[in-house]
Chain A
């Protein structure tokens, strides 16, 4: 199979409320990615935007940012889902041969809508939406299922919040760099039990962009390529109640495919850095299990061991993760960008020394219904 490289990355800072329009943050991320690649908009054959109509407060939200994404007179298509799936689609477009180079740009302004109402709308309107369930209350149900299955306690989950907010101190793009303790997490306001305020990601504004190219398009850019070594994606049941919330089998499948493609047999040993989608604290140990970093039910032991801290065996979320900045739609693409920066040794203070292989993970749908996994390397 032909290889696909990531040659440019760009992201805005992630903030509670940015004084920019959708178009302005899209333009900022897209131009940053182009200058990072050492190319210009003429080098781009097609554009994939990532957006969600409810978050943008309009229909066909993608079309409203096409000028800012540099797609005037270009082929443009859209992903309505996490940015990791935008990267997946962009990769496929460059693989198809119809286009050599693809710009993928994702944006959201969480500050402009109402998270609980918007995420309520992702549930089935007939059987579930009328109950008022949303991203956080459904996540709380999953957290408890996972506690039951693994024996994890709330303090185990709090360790994720402590680690990742501390890591965010080294990431100038993150929203919530904090030095906090397990006790701080435990004492924070109850939101949807067992989840407390510091178990939950913030709602963020921001945009991110990457430039993908096949081998034919590579010469257009000055930047050294980071190669996509493996990729996998899979979905589980949509309906809460008919999915084992404590067993992320879609992630297991996605990770297995990505590892197989990348020739990875022991991810804990062979990966140098992982950026995963910790929208809520408990997700990190649960996704460890899905990613094969810990055996079933043993995710809590891995976070407790400290092996996923910075300067340890396998740093997870050196950037601070999604719990420290959660631009919905963008966050998975931001994970991929962070993975690329690690491979380039351009991650500054959050750099994992000598990182050669990194994993990026994104999710879509309630409680991680769908998962996308990328392995990148030199």
Chain B
């Protein structure tokens, strides 16, 4: 046999496994309120009084169950933002895409979501925003379309 030929061979595949996550009793209540009433609900820790949104089953700091549901406003403050310039298969929008951390009024932390209906040059931390709900809602986080500046 003559000299063995050399070439790098690649095997191309794709991992695609359907998966169905149960969002939990707490998550279900949160999403039902978004879907059916366009309402944002959080949950309060009975000890430290911290309000979580999305709601959680137990306070992370106090490590005790949370039970008290709190209806929150659909307004909040933009704590941080980024303008993403690259597209990819998991971003359900075309670039530029704006992500924000939105501190909903009455909550103790921020919600990660999109910021929309805005001229990118006008983005600023501390700006006031309001939730814009999707016309067709399916009981998931995209039932909020994005947060838009309050004029």
Contact = CB atoms under 8 A, between A and B. Distances in A.
15 contacts: A57-B13, A128-B112, A130-B92, A132-B93, A137-B82, A137-B84, A137-B99, A141-B112, A144-B80, A144-B81, A191-B84, A192-B82, A192-B84, A193-B85, A194-B82
A126 B27 contact: yes
Contacts of B27: 126-127
Contact of A237 (B60, B86, B113): B60
A245 B80 contact: yes
B88 interface: yes
Interface string A99-129: 0000000000000001011001000011111
B23 A126 contact: yes
Nearest to A132: B91
B111 interface: yes
B101 A117 contact: no
B80 A242 contact: no
A145 B23 contact: no
Contact of A130 (B79, B108, B142): B142
Contacts of A57: 13, 15
> Size range of the interface on A?
35 or more
A7 to B, nearest CB: 36
Interface in B137-151: 140-142
Given A132-B97, A137-B99, A240-B112, 8 more contacts: A125-B21, A126-B54, A129-B90, A130-B142, A132-B88, A134-B88, A190-B85, A242-B52
Interface of B: 8, 13, 15, 19, 21, 23, 27, 52, 54, 60, 79-86, 88-93, 97, 99, 101, 108-114, 125, 140-142
Nearest to A123: B112
A241 B109 contact: yes
A140 interface: yes
Contact of B86 (A133, A143, A191, A194): A191
Contact of A131 (B8, B23, B89, B113): B113
Interface in A2-49: 19
A241 B99 contact: no
Contact of A116 (B82, B86, B93, B110): B86
A145 B60 contact: no
B125 to A, nearest CB: 6
Contact of B79 (A136, A145, A239): A145
